[in-house]
Amino acid sequence: MRKTKFLGTKINPTRFHRSQLKYILIITPVALFMLLPLVYIFNYAFKPLEEMFYYPPRFLVEKFTLQNFVRLFSVTGTSGIPMSRYLFNSIIVTVLVIVTSVIFSTLAGYALSKLNFRGKKLMNEINTLALMFVGVAVMIPRYLIIEKLGLIDSFAIHVLPYLAIPVGLFLVKQFIDQIPNELLDASRIDGANEWQIYTKIILPLIKPAIATIVILSFQSVWNSADTSITYINNDSLKTFAFYMNSLTTNTNGVAGQGMAAAASLIMFLPNLIIFMVMQSKVMDTMAHSGIK
């Protein structure tokens, strides 16, 4: 009886167990402490201007106001471009990058993992080598290539540099490596072609890896103003990240703090939502990427 009871006890039970109390007592204060920056960002965006300069500073908002957002959406930059234009550009660019990067990463990952062709090993090594370089290290050669292609001041330049994400391809390939070859061979025997295998077998099985690519692509584009600063001269083609960076310089330093706080919340909120929705998938990808 004791043996049966012992074997039936789970190390990490799905329901509450008194053995979990010690972990809850430790994790709860840490979790609350980590939530403080999130609470501050939300409160700061809804503070009236006078509360932002209280001394000593107040953590929570006392007089809730939407005036910061009203002013943000009504103000225009030095070139007369409204904020909504920058926000629209960011949304379009982000959607295009996410869709295209998922398609390219999954197609390339499937080919490098399960198909045999000349140069496959070399391509794997090139992608692994690309993981070593940060964006700043390749900024000059990238600019020279973009200039030679005549893409300066082009909306496409927001998308093209992000089509290939080396870390995303690496994670997808590692994930696809875990899929048994026998499953794919059985599908071929049943008459499935490579496209059907990719769409009906590979994609459903690598959803966690796809979620990871979505997060990486989103964060690399939504939060970056580098493309607008380096390659774009026409303000109507620039993104919201650029507008946010230049907000305090285009308006009075004190009066612009409320708008900057509202813009910061708009920039931060999509990151929080997309990570909360997909964080479990990301953990699955990281776990599978190291298993052989």
pLDDT in tens, 122-180: 888 888 888 887 777 778 888 888 888 888 888 888 888 888 788 888 888 888 888 88
- Residue ranges covered by each domain of the chain: 71-289
User: Is the peptide bond between 56 and the residue preceding it cis, with omega within 30 degrees of 0?
Assistant: yes
**What is the token pair recorded at 30?**
């840490």
- Tell me if 49 sits within 8 A of 35, measured CB to CB: no
- Tell me if 153 sits within 8 A of 237, measured CB to CB: yes
Confidence of residue 220 (pLDDT cuts 50, 70, 90): confident
Q: What is the pLDDT of residue 23?
A: 78
Rounded to whole angstroms, the Cα distance separating 41 from 256 reads: 16
pLDDT in tens, 206-218: 888 888 888 888 8
**What is the token pair recorded at 63?**
């007089």
> Of residues 238 and 76, which shows the higher confidence score?
238
* C-alpha pair distances (Å), 253 with each of 42, 246, 256: 21, 11, 5
Rounded to whole angstroms, the Cα distance separating 201 from 216 reads: 23
Q: What is the pLDDT of residue 290?
A: 47
Instruction: Using the predicted structure, report yes or no on whether residue 249 has a pLDDT greater than 50.
Output: yes
How much is the pTM? Answer: 0.77
Q: What is the pLDDT of residue 11?
A: 52
Confidence of residue 287 (pLDDT cuts 50, 70, 90): low
Mean pLDDT score, 239-265:
73
**What is the token pair recorded at 113?**
């993992």
Q: What is the pLDDT of residue 106?
A: 92
Closest CA to 287 of 180, 211, 175: 175
Mean pLDDT score, 33-46:
84
CATH superfamily to which 71-289 belongs: MetI-like (1.10.3720.10)
Strand ranges in the chain using DSSP code E only, listed in sequence order: none
pLDDT in tens, 255-283: 667 778 888 888 888 888 887 877 766 66
Q: What is the pLDDT of residue 248?
A: 56
